[in-house]
Amino acid sequence: MMTRRLIVIGGDAAGMSAAAQARRMAPADALEIVAFERGSRTSYAACGLPYLIGGLVESPDRLVARTPEQHRANGIDVRICHEVLAIDVKAATVTVRDLDKGQETDMHYDELLIATGASGIVPPWPGIDAEGVLQLRTLDDAAEVERRIGAGARRAVVVGAGYIGLEVAENLLARGLEVTVMERLDAPMGAVLDADMAAAVADAMREAGVDLQLGTAVTGFTVTDGHVSAVQTAAGSVAADLVLIGLGVRANVELARAAGMEVGEAGGIVVDEQQRTHTPHVWAAGDCVESRHRVTGRAVVVALGTHANKQGRVAGTNIAGGEASFGGVLGTAITKFQDLEIARTGLTEREAEAAGLDAFGVITEASSRAHYYPGGQSMRIKIVAERQTGRMLGAQIVGGQGAGKRIDVLATALWNKMSLDEVGGMDLSYAPPFSPVWDPVLLAAGKAAAKL
Ligand SMILES: Cc1cc2nc3c(=O)[nH]c(=O)nc-3n(C[C@H](O)[C@H](O)[C@H](O)COP(=O)(O)OP(=O)(O)OC[C@H]3O[C@@H](n4cnc5c(N)ncnc54)[C@H](O)[C@@H]3O)c2cc1C
């Protein structure tokens, strides 16, 4: 039997999920697996980085699910500090640089998986390269934040009030820093929530002591002796000795594009449901690809670890000769700011309108527990639905403990295209410590159905 070679570019969630799945399914004499990672770590949970800087996670090693040595022991030839510089799809080779030795080599592949992830958006603002202006994307970034806090940084400005901005702000506050969050839009979480749901997030941030500056566009940084000393905006400047940029991400598609692969309008590598690109024997997964949105049917790039892991597993299964498909995305996501849980699935009302749908939104206020049982937390649930058909398009939840994960019930309903009536009548669990007799999800679906 000929041994085929799978080359994986990118040693994190998507790449190593694919490699591990292919390894499980195909014996080593049938499939050799070589994974190139330009960094020095593999399979680390970027999702845990904010909690590492906040001190909830005690060491960087806790965020590493599998080290390069563990992958090697599992039969995957992981080469860290190796950057893939080019792909030649005709010759079926990749050009790789060993970053330690500075040597370049070409290696042949029978199957290639591109899992190069995404990079943070960094606008060309004056002073952006100053020391102390950072992103939080890798363990090295977290170490740098830690070093600067250790060196006496006290005033932090977070640019962007999306998920990562919020999580970073919460954790810098926990470390005792003064935190300003600057956001160009008029509400935090503007890409995630409708404004009528985001107000509670703004309130929580301000109550916690964050100087939340909405409608504030950053124009540049004041740099003193090479180090950031203030953030400039149209309204004036704010002193800072640490700046964290959290402005979203862009898929890393340069290698694929240069090799002639198709990059879609949403900005990711185009793949089918098996994670196959249009180029024979080349697969792609994770933050670098486009996925199908299950509500709009459109191609989108949704950079989340949950998709990267699943897509990697699908790619690994198919590469090893099995059969698996990725079912698409709803953009289901959850985060928190201190005690406030924030979650969404599907489309916001604004997104639905932008997609040309005739949508309406209904907000329901409810409690997480029976009214007589102590400790109930209030929550707001917004259901977004299409006026003509009555189909659910999306949902958002903002509330206290026990609110956020309720989004998964609504995501399940949305995934399965259930009607609002069906959702309102579902058999959900009830006991006073966990919910009122009508769970907030049932109430919200019923209230939205009544508007049809
Ligand atoms: C602070 C933070 C918090 C997050 N929180 C959540 C969360 O709560 N929930 C959630 O679902 N998602 C979260 N995410 C997103 C999640 O981490 C990503 O979606 C996930 O890591 C994507 O996995 P990936 O393998 O596609 O890409 P990445 O994790 O970016 O991995 C790509 C890898 O490819 C390597 N690489 C790139 N180009 C080359 C090359 N040419 N040669 C060799 N190696 C290369 C990179 O060094 C990198 O290690 C968070 C992300 C961050 C940064």
CA angle 91, 79, 47 (to 5 degrees): 110
Locate 434 and state its tokens. 């966990």
- Check if the beta carbon of residue 159 is closer than 8 Å to that of residue 218: yes
Whether 81 sits among the annotated catalytic residues: the reply is no
Tokens found for residue 362: 């209904």
Choosing from 25, 30, 45, 47, which is the catalytic residue?
Answer: 47
Convert the pLDDT of each residue in 162-198 to its tens digit: 999 999 999 999 999 999 999 999 999 998 999 999 9
Q: Which atom of ligand 1 is nearest to the CA of 36?
A: 43
337 three-class SS: strand
* E strand or H helix at 164: helix 163-174
Tell whether the model's pLDDT for residue 1 goes beyond 90: no
pLDDT of res. 68: 97
Segment holding 352, helix H or strand E: helix 349-354
pLDDT for 194-209, tens place per residue?
A: 999 999 999 999 999 9
Atom 26, ligand 1: which residue's CA is nearest?
286
Q: Which of 304, 336, 344, 345 to mutate to test the pocket of ligand 1 (most atoms within 8 A of CB)?
A: 304
In tens, the pLDDT along 240-252 reads: 999 999 999 999 9
Q: Give me ligand 1 centre to Cα 250, in Å.
A: 11
Confidence of residue 376 (pLDDT cuts 50, 70, 90): very high
Ligand 1 atom closest to Cα of residue 39: 47
Q: How far is the CA of 325 from the centre of ligand 1 (A)?
A: 21
Residue 219 has pLDDT above 90, yes or no: yes
Ligand 1 pocket, 332 CB below 6 A?
no
Beta-carbon count within 10 A of 140 CB? 11
7-51 tens-digit pLDDT:
999 999 999 999 999 999 999 999 999 999 999 999 999 999 999
Q: How large a percentage of the chain has pLDDT more than 70?
A: 100
- Expressed in angstroms and rounded, the spacing between residue 104 Cα and the centre of ligand 1 is 25
Closest residue by CA, ligand 1 atom 20: 305
Structure confidence at residue 65 (pLDDT): 95
Q: Give the pair of three-digit tokens for residue 418.
A: 């259930």
Cα–Cα distance for residue pair 210/181, rounded to 1 Å = 7
Give residue 160 CA to ligand 1 midpoint distance, Å: 19
